[in-house]
Amino acid sequence: MTETAAVADLGSARRLIESIRNLGCAFALDDFGRGFSSFYYLKELPMEYVKIDGSFIRGLADRPDDQALVKAMSQIAKAFGKKTVAEHVESAAVYNLLAHFEIDYAQGYYTGRPVEMSVAFADDVAA
């Protein structure tokens, strides 16, 4: 669920998320930090993950202000018991900073480029 998505009825959204979670699915609050209700959604919706918006990650190696924000977002997410995911990780320098800030997962070209499903699971099929 993107953080910028309008949620008119949080109670209904919470119930829907819980019913789908009971099926074994997990949820992420996507684009965290981009909108105005980040902290409210973080508090009110039962998400397992917080995906930090790529606009904070792209220049992370060179921008102390983004470093401070990402570090704070990680600490806040952890205080709420959430795992963190950084979007748009495209270099070792950024990846290493994220590890230093205790970000749980990285998503982007540095960790791997998109491939067809048949290629991604070729080893599983061959086994």
List the alpha helices (DSSP H) in the chain: 10-21, 38-44, 54-57, 64-79, 92-100, 117-120, 122-126
Residue-range domains of the chain with CATH: 10-126 (3.20.20.450)
Taking residues 4-25, report their average pLDDT: 81
Q: In this predicted model, what pLDDT tens digit does every residue of 32-42 receive, in sequence order?
A: 777 655 788 88
Tell me what pLDDT residue 36 has.
Answer: 58
Query: pTM, whole model, 2 decimals?
Result: 0.76
Q: What is the pLDDT of residues 34-93, one digit of tens each?
A: 765 578 888 888 899 999 999 999 999 999 999 999 999 999 999 999 999 999 999 999
> And the tokens for 88?
């748009």
- The CA angle 65-69-71, to the nearest 5 degrees, is 115
Give the C-alpha separation, 46 to 27, whole Å: 8
Note whether 38 and 3 are within 8 A (CB).
yes
Give residue 126's pLDDT: 56
